[in-house]
Chains A and B, each alone.
Chain A
């Protein structure tokens, strides 16, 4: 069974631009969570989606948003990029909502110049 896939793997943007990242969960998994990983803050929870509905949200500004499609694929969007948004963005999937065991993708490394 294929693992969690994320596209693109690497991305360079400039301040003020917006970006959309994509995540395809493991087949059969219906919950997708997004995390931001930086050297300074470590891994921080962004949001979780299940059945196309956002179930939980972390402490990030409204510039960070996401959505989930009927096939469980998910996208996250960051608008008006700031230098501090440079990070590794990780997607994790699980069978259902509120599942403690999550499987992570390789991440999208975003660099904001």
Chain B
């Protein structure tokens, strides 16, 4: 079946640095992608989304890039803060409205 995966299970950065979290997807029919943040003891929190007709979308301190040619998605966090420490999931939706989640990348921000 189709799957969504993450390249790096753990990413450690210094406070103030920019962070980049990557995600590969395999369902070429996916037309909607979402990034979630999950802090310890909490449920996933929506960060930003992007549709397949776009290749870049910016939010507050976050940018999502979509490369449909290589089926790659990335989340960029500018000026990473200790509060950004969490597990980040990408999810893809191939039109069934049932998202498929990646396994997650743990972001650790050192003060």
Contacts from A to B (Cβ < 8 Å): 4, 42-45, 48, 56, 58, 90, 92, 97-107
Contact = CB atoms under 8 A, between A and B. Distances in A.
Contacts of B43: 4, 90, 92, 104-107
Interface of B: 32, 34, 36, 41-46, 49, 89, 91, 93, 96-104
Given A100-B49, A103-B46, A45 B41 contact: no
20 contacts: A4-B43, A42-B101, A42-B103, A43-B89, A44-B101, A56-B96, A97-B97, A98-B97, A100-B34, A100-B49, A100-B93, A100-B97, A101-B49, A103-B46, A104-B43, A104-B44, A104-B45, A105-B43, A106-B41, A106-B42
Contacts of A103: 46
A48 B36 CA distance: 19
A105 B97 CA distance: 19
Nearest to B101: A43
A105 B38 CA distance: 11
Contacts of B101: 42-44
A105 B32 CA distance: 22
B90 to A, nearest CB: 11
Contacts of A42: 89, 101-104
Given A43-B89, A56-B98, A58-B98, 9 more contacts: A43-B44, A43-B91, A90-B43, A90-B44, A100-B32, A102-B99, A103-B46, A107-B42, A107-B43
A105 B103 CA distance: 19
Contacts of A43: 44, 89, 91, 101
Nearest to B102: A42
